[in-house]
Chain A
């Protein structure tokens, strides 16, 4: 009976999902106010250069412009980038080390003044090399950048230290909002508490922890956009509130992602009054064994942990209750640099024959003298999907005789335990915005070069393989280099265990049109393409 209900709900979800396709081909209508839910408390600040939470993006992205971005009409692309403030995507010169961007003319700030290349260059200078006392959360993404300059009011030139394919995706990062030069130079902290950009919407009012309201920017430079007259973002950190609000039409959409159970419930109750879009998510849980603790310093034990987990059968089952679905390696599955299924199946932990895999795991544990090992899995006190995935993994480990207790703690102690190395195995997440495999896989580098790797291992070969891959610009050779780095990280050393990637499910009321899902909840959030069919 339960299975039948689930199938019915899934069928409805699929039908609703398909129903959106022709809607996107419709002629957009102007007008109306979109009420959307921000699944968070108030953001710590409005300054995207310093913050890392999506709460800042979902709150204030509609008020800002960026230099380049993922295409709003195809945000699922992992390789394509288009101009926002520039006029055309440049062809790099100087052996791939110089990028010259022409900046749109006549772009107005919301205060009525004119935006120039000086504003763009200064914003980027603050991101790449922030002055003392200013925080740039993603400064390390731009280590390849040597200088940013605006030789005139319509040109911005980026000079790189070395050519790399990581540069353009990093440049399209959704947190790289363009700020006004005069304001930044007068008070670099001004943007933490104030909003003044050149994006599709102008700020009307902000009520801390309650809502943020914007109105259409009539001077917006993408002609005809935005379609909406206004937007209201309501902060609602509790999932039940968001689901009820969508059900009662108090809000039309939320942009982070709902769990499958909420999707099924709403689709069942609202039928064709809602649509669903879903996508692989550029976020995934990874298991990090603490190499400083015995017996996790032994590669055989780490491999056994991976071999016990039946990813191919577990992922689809888990997808029914948790925001996870696709099995992948260290690279996001949608990227050309990602391992194919055949390549993955050669790596321990991804073998298709789970019986053989678990037999090997038991053998390795016996050899390492770690049969019946007892340990703790440190996990974060977040339901979706951390605790679901943690519970599943422990069940898998039990099948090879391991006795694992899940230690679930709030975010603060979770971080501090990992930073202090006071854990056995930790459930982590690697969550990125623009799919940028070269930078995203930095997470698997040793702690000494990537301080947020909590495995605490030293491995020069890993660093060498990564650097070779990072600086390779030929796509085929880079793919081979990525495989070598992945094989070393997973197959040879099993430094980390990569679990199924998260799955993003967006549900909107049927009148909301123009939204296209991307593999990240950070992307495509300026809302300029959204319109209401009312």
Chain B
């Protein structure tokens, strides 16, 4: 197993290098200039001398190959360089936002798993019943509803309901406070986005859980277990669910990785200062150094998540061995 993990980690190096080269080249293909945006976005006069000085300061007057080598060096030394927009170290910019995105992602994942696995399992066990239909409608509605729309609607709902009940419209805080500083305020800010994201996430997972369970429940070994007179609870929990969880775990892992950098609109809707919002700002500002670092962060998260999923496979299904 350890050899397998080491091998996978080594294989990640060319993947990262490929991703690094690709993102560098793609960003250079986009027209635009961080200095011009910075100095002229307000519609005011942009002094060409100031633009030239800005290019020099950011190293944009260097040949492309020099910029690329500097970028590679920064990436592989985990330095990531300096943001072209704010002048802060990229690692600091990310460190400030990552906990917020992680918090929402973890909460959304917990909500999704708590909803999806039991409901998906019940739906499979009660196939064709009213309960199954209700769960399926719930799941399809979740898949069909974009989470940002749900976010906006949930904000409006909270505003209107609080206004109707108390006469004063209420909204969760829009300025982030760490859970260690004020857990209640933190929770009231993060809960709504976590629920809206978690619902969509659970809907997809619910569908996969249901279909995987249905497939497993039709397997011979399940029939054998039942024929042996095992309790239904043991058949479902020990024999069916554990095996059905293989594709579910894959999905949960991929969705979690996606959530770290992918909550672009949800973070904007709820004014969360997370990685997704940072990525949008960096793209808008053409802060290529920051975009590169964020993309590489997402790539690393995907690589690590996939590795964790593969390791989990072996635990869930003893037939899988990586020796």
Contacts and interface: CB of A to CB of B under 8 A. Distances in A.
Minimum-distance CB pairs A-B, first 9: A412-B32, A431-B43, A248-B171, A429-B43, A416-B31, A209-B273, A413-B31, A412-B286, A248-B169
A135 B31 contact: no
B268 interface: yes
A286 B168 CA distance: 43
B87 A283 contact: no
B289 to A, nearest CB: 13
Interface in A471-509: none
B138 interface: no
A232 B44 CA distance: 27
A411 interface: yes
Contacts of A411: 32, 37, 41, 284
B33 A412 contact: yes
A249 interface: yes
Nearest to B45: A452
B174 A208 contact: no
A412 B273 contact: no
Contact of A211 (B45, B46, B48, B175): B175
Interface residues of A, number: 61
A233 to B, nearest CB: 10
A209 B96 contact: yes
Contact of B169 (A51, A53, A140, A249): A249
A45 interface: yes
Contacts of B43: 283, 428-431
24 contacts: A44-B285, A45-B87, A51-B38, A52-B46, A53-B41, A135-B53, A137-B39, A141-B45, A208-B273, A210-B176, A234-B174, A238-B269, A240-B269, A247-B159, A248-B159, A248-B162, A250-B173, A412-B36, A412-B284, A416-B31, A419-B33, A420-B31, A452-B45, A452-B46
A288 interface: no
Contact of B281 (A41, A50, A269, A429): A41
Candidate in B43, B48, B278 with the most chain A CB atoms within 10 angstroms: B43
Contacts of A52: 38-42, 44, 46
B155 interface: yes
Contacts of A232: 175
A268 interface: no
B159 A244 contact: yes
Interface string B19-30: 000000000001
Contacts of B97: 209
Nearest to B32: A412
A387 to B, nearest CB: 15
A417 interface: yes
Interface in A28-70: 41-42, 44-45, 50-54
Contacts of A269: 169
Contacts of A50: 50
Interface residues of B, number: 54
A48 B152 CA distance: 35
Nearest to B36: A415
A410 B88 contact: no
Nearest to B38: A44
A442 B46 CA distance: 12
B55 to A, nearest CB: 11
A245 B173 CA distance: 9
A237 B265 CA distance: 12
A208 B176 contact: no
Contacts of A45: 86-87
Nearest to A432: B44
B174 A241 contact: yes
B142 to A, nearest CB: 22
B311 to A, nearest CB: 35
A472 B188 CA distance: 61
B269 A416 contact: no
A113 interface: no
Given A193-B88, A232-B175, A269-B169, 13 more contacts: A52-B38, A208-B96, A209-B277, A234-B271, A236-B174, A245-B271, A247-B171, A251-B174, A410-B32, A412-B33, A412-B37, A431-B42, A443-B45
B76 interface: no
Interface in B91-135: 93, 96-97
Contacts of A518: none
Contacts of A430: 43
A139 B47 CA distance: 8
Contacts of B45: 138, 140-141, 442-443, 450, 452
Contacts of A431: 42-44
B86 A44 contact: yes
A94 B270 CA distance: 58
A140 B281 CA distance: 29
A410 B281 CA distance: 12
Interface in A211-257: 211, 232, 234-238, 240-241, 244-245, 247-251
A249 B168 contact: yes
A22 interface: no
Given A137-B39, A248-B169, A208 B88 contact: yes
Nearest to A431: B43
A419 B48 CA distance: 11
B171 A244 contact: yes
